[in-house]
Every structure is written in structure tokens, then in C-alpha cells.
Amino acid sequence: MIKTVTIVGAGIAGIASAIRLAKLGHQVHVFESASHPGGKLRQIEEKGYRFDAGPSLFTLPNLVDELFTLCNQNPQDHFQYQTLEDICHYFYEDGKQFVAYKSWDKFSDSLTEIASKNEIASLKKQLQKAAFRYNITAPVFLDQCLHRFKNYLNFKTLKGILNSGKLNVFESMDKENRKLIGNPYLVQYMNRFATYNGSDPYRAPALLNMIPHLEQNLGSYFPKGGMYNIPKSLHKLAYSMGVQFYFQHTVEEIVTEGKNVSSVRVRNLKTHEVFERRSNIVVCNADVYNTYKFLLPKHKSPEKILSQERSTSALVFYWGIKGSFAELGLHNILFSDDYKSEFQQLFQTGEPTNDPTIYINISSKCEPSDAPQGCENWFVMINVPSNSGQNWNEIAAKAKVNILQKLQRILKKDISQLIEFEDVLDPIKIEQRTSSHGGSLYGTSSNNRFAAFLRHKNFSSSIKGLYFCGGSVHPGGGIPLCLNSAKIVSQLITEDFG
């Protein structure tokens, strides 16, 4: 039976949900308060520089290809990407450095100055274990709804349960890495993957040591035209499938009749007109916290879920750099000297450390047109706590000084003299632009061994016709998991409505 589906938010999960539901024959309308699709995936174009202003890592490209194939389109006709041979460049305060190559032989050769053969072999075993854990857990915890009993009555779930003792949810990532690898440089390398869902490796369960499998074992990629080309291409695909998009339209309330979704109340941000759109089904791609607090004012909020510890946010400097650096790649990490202290401050004091780990993304390494000739576009990010009332102007000013000092120590050059364009993104702006509560990038953190079960489910138990997708709900944040949430929602709607 054809249904009218309203999607709140044109983030990557919202667009993917729209594509899948349109393919099933439903009439799909997407309301987005911004003037463009993509949510956190957006871009900045100024003074000859183009920046991917949001997520910068691309893994599991098959999840994007799958959407084109689903719609009987050849993905290569609409969306292309290249495989990265050098995945990430790593730098330490003592001058040590290495490159994580796609090829294990090249990767291991790069590690010889910082680790022994036995330690490198231990890292390889840990990466192999990451593959095992991912292959066991993904079908159970990432690819399907955790909150429908029937999903536990199959072989893949039974297999996951039988291997649960090998998943190690009782030790922290750091404890396991120190025990199995030992080498402090390699331990820090493995620990840093906790930041991929905004968590603390000294508290997050060792199960999350499977995260590097996606980047290192399965490979990292770069989309032609940059990361923003992902939502741009999928928006075009959705439009071709008959999905109707309404930009600069914000949903102010999800209206219910009894225990059923009935409509959404929408404000046109250009004309300020408020109107109501009838809908059998609503898929909410907005942060689940703000959904309950603002869009469902007449319904009880799941306070236990909404009060969970937030994930980290980000402070980003977009710098147009007059010059080029051969030692840097597309992805670069400059580690802090005291990693444990950095995370203690992130989750306990509400401010970043004076010696933060710095991530630099330079898309002009792969897409030269993203910067003027002889120049580079630097996306310079540090992890910061979510917003809880801090003075972000003061924090940003202090952080910029610390970042520039660290860059000068490691790169041996005064970067401040090379900056000809600057823009800044802080947690307040992230919250304002994407409705992410507190500017947290991944909703809640995974600093709890039961985090996978504590995320909000992809449907409402009390309101029929209401579903949730995106980084603040199951299975989590990041492009691959957001795309998975869209698949889960489309499956649930098919089960519930045919």
C-alpha cells in the first residue's frame, strides 16, 4: 500500500531513506531547514579554496553504490571515487612519524623506525582481530534493528552470541591494546579510533578496536569532487526517483492523533508561512534529543536515553594556506604527547587540553582544483567537548595559538604567516546548523560496554508511524552507520505497512 512519507532533515541518512522508500513506491517529501542537502556534509567555497566542511573520511563506498544499483542506475555514471594508497600520515612530538599505507608491506616498512618486528606483528594480529570482530558483530548490531525480537532468531545472531566471549566488552580499548601490542606509538594509533564515534579509548570497550578494520583493512577512499559530492549525488538520485525536497522549511512539530502520526507542522523560512502536511509516516533524521524536546512537546521523552553522556564535538579551522607540504597527505594526525590527559579533559573539564591531537584534512592533495596553484586547503580539527555554556570564542582563540605552536614544532615552519583565508566552526555553530544537541557529532558517546543497546531505537514504541535515522540513533554516527540506519528504517516500514 502506497503511503505518504515525510522525512525531517536532508542529512545523508534522510536522503538515503528517501531513496529507499521512493523505490518501494511511497510518496516521499523531505523538509530541510538549510538551503542545501547533506546535513553535516557541507562545503565552503571562498577565495579560490573549496573545503569539505563536515565529515572527511570515506569508507565502505559500496553503501553509496548500493543506492544507485537499487534504483537500476550504474553508480559509476553518477558517483566516482579513488582508493587511497596512503591512508593517513602520523606525527609524534618526539619527531617520530609513519604512514599507514593500504599495502601491509608498505605499512609495516613505515613502522620499522618506531616498533620492533614482534610489535609490528602484534599490530597485524590486532587488525586481523578487528576484521573478525566486525564480521561477527556487523550483521547483528549494525545491519539490522536491535529492537525487534524476530531479528534474534537467525543464524547470524546465534553465531554472534556464540562468539561473544571473543569480543571483549569488559576491558577498555587502551587496556587491550597495551596488553596485546605494548608499543606506545602503536597503542596510541589504535586508541585514536575511539574518536570515530566521539568516545574515550580509556573507557570505551575493547570491542571498538574493530573500527580500524573499516579504514585499514577494507580501505579508505576519496570521492571525485570531494566529500560533498556524496549528498549532492544522492540528492540528484532521490529527485530522479520522485522525491520532493523543501529546503529552508523547518518542521516545528510532529502532530499525532491518538497513538498515530497524522501530520507535520512546517514553517517556510523564506515567507514565514506555517502549514500542516498530512502524512502516514514520519522519518526523523534530526537529532533524537531535539526531536523529543521540540518536535514532540506533547509526548513523554525517554529521559534515560536522552541523559546519556554526549559524544565529543569539534573545533575546526578552515585555512587557505599559501604553500604546500610534501610530508602531508590527504589525512594527517599530529598526536598529543599525553593522550590520556587529553581525553580526561575532554570528558571531565569541558575544555580541550593545551596540547590537543590535531587532524588535518587536505582535499587538494587529491583534488588540485580545491586550492589555487601552489596552495593547499587545510581543514584543521581538534576534538572538543559538546557545548554546555563554554565561551567558545575564548576557547577557539586559545586553541588556535596552541595548534600553531604545535604545527611549528612538528613541521618546522610558521604556519600563521601562510594563512590567507580562515573560517571557524565550533559546537555552537554545529548545533545551530544541524540541530545536533550540544554540537555533539555522534549523539551519545560509546564509553559504556552496553552503548550499542542504549542508543535510541529506529522506531517509536508509543507512536505508530514514527521512525528515526541518522547518527544520534542506532546503529550510530559516521557515514556508513547513517546509511545503515536508512536501510533499517526502510525495512521496518515495509514490515509495519507492507
Could you list the residue range(s) of the whole structural domain that residue 473 is in?
Answer: 4-82+229-308+449-497
Last residue of a domain, one of 188, 215, 242: 215
Low-confidence ranges of the chain (pLDDT < 50): none
In a domain, 423, yes or no: no
Residues of the chain with pLDDT > 90, as a percent, come to 86
Closest CA to 243 of 15, 479, 476: 15
Asked if residue 98 belongs to a domain, the reply is no
Q: Which of 152, 184, 215 is the last residue of a domain?
A: 215
CB neighbours of residue 259 within 10 Å? 11
Whether 441 maps to a domain, the answer reads no
Please give the torsion angle defined by the CA atoms of residues 151, 152, 156 and 159, in that order, rounded to the nearest 10 degrees.
Answer: 170
Cβ atoms 101, 342 nearer than 8 A: no
24 and 71 assigned to the same domain:
yes
Q: Give me the residues paired with residue 468 across strands.
A: 284
Q: What grid cell was written down for 82?
A: 579513488
Q: Which three cell numbers stand for residue 151?
A: 531479528
Residue 307's SS3 state is: coil
| Amino acid letter for position 157 | T
Q: What is the DSSP letter of 292?
A: I
Q: What is the pLDDT of residue 307?
A: 85
Please check whether residue 464 lies inside any domain of the structure.
yes
Strand 27-32 and strand 466-468: the pairing is: unpaired
Q: Locate cell 584543521: which residue? A: 380
Neighbours of 224 (CB within 10 A): 12
Indicate the pairing of strand 4-8 with strand 358-361: unpaired
**What's CA 145's distance to the chain center, in Å?**
19
Does 109 reside within a domain? no
Same-domain check for residues 11 and 61: yes
User: b vs e for 124-161, b when ≥16 Cβ sit within 10 Å of the residue's Cβ?
Assistant: eebbebbbebbebbbbbbbebbbebeebeeeeeeeebe
What CATH number did the domain enclosing 152 receive? 1.10.405
Burial, 308: exposed, middle or buried (Cβ in 10 Å; 0-12, 13-18, 19+)? middle
Helix ranges (DSSP H) in 264-391: 288-290, 303-306, 339-348
Are 32 and 58 members of one domain?
A: yes
Furthest-apart CA pair in the chain: how many Å?
A: 67
Q: Are residues 21 and 60 in the same domain?
A: yes
Last residue of a domain, one of 148, 182, 215: 215
C-alpha torsion 149→150→154→159, nearest 10:
-10
- Average confidence score pLDDT of the chain: 94
Q: In a 3-state reduction of DSSP, which class is residue 320? A: strand
**In the block, residue with C-alpha cell 499525532:** 256
167 shares its domain with 233: no
Residue 152 domain flag: yes
Could you report the per-residue pLDDT of 331-364, keeping only the tens digit for each? 999 999 999 999 999 999 888 999 999 999 999 9
* Domain count along the chain: 2
Could you tell me the CATH number of the domain that includes residue 288?
Answer: 3.50.50.60
483, part of any domain: yes
Based on the fold, state whether residues 204 and 243 are members of the same structural domain: no
Determine, yes or no, domain membership for 194.
yes
Q: Are residues 149 and 211 in the same domain?
A: yes
Task: Quote the percentage of the chain above a pLDDT of 70.
Answer: 95
Instruction: For residue 475, say if its preceding peptide bond is cis, omega within 30 degrees of 0.
Output: yes
* In contact, 150 and 162? CB cutoff 8 Å: no
Say yes or no: 129 and 211 in one domain.
Answer: yes
Nearest alpha carbon to residue 81 among 226, 179, 180: 226
- For the segment 22-41, what is each residue's pLDDT rounded down to a tens digit? 999 999 999 999 999 999 99
Q: Are residues 265 and 233 in the same domain?
A: yes
Do 162 and 131 belong to one domain?
yes
243 and 174, same domain (yes or no): no
- Of the candidates 240, 283, 221, 371, the residue with the CA atom closest to the CA atom of residue 10: 283
Phi, psi angle pair for 56, to nearest 5°: -125, -5
Sequential DSSP letters for 180-233 = HT--HHHHHHHHGGGGGGT--TTTSBGGGGGTHIIIIIS--EEETT-TTHHHHH
Together in a domain, 208 and 280: no
Q: How far is CA 263 from CA 20, 29, 286, in A?
A: 21, 12, 16
Q: Which amino acid is at 158?
A: L
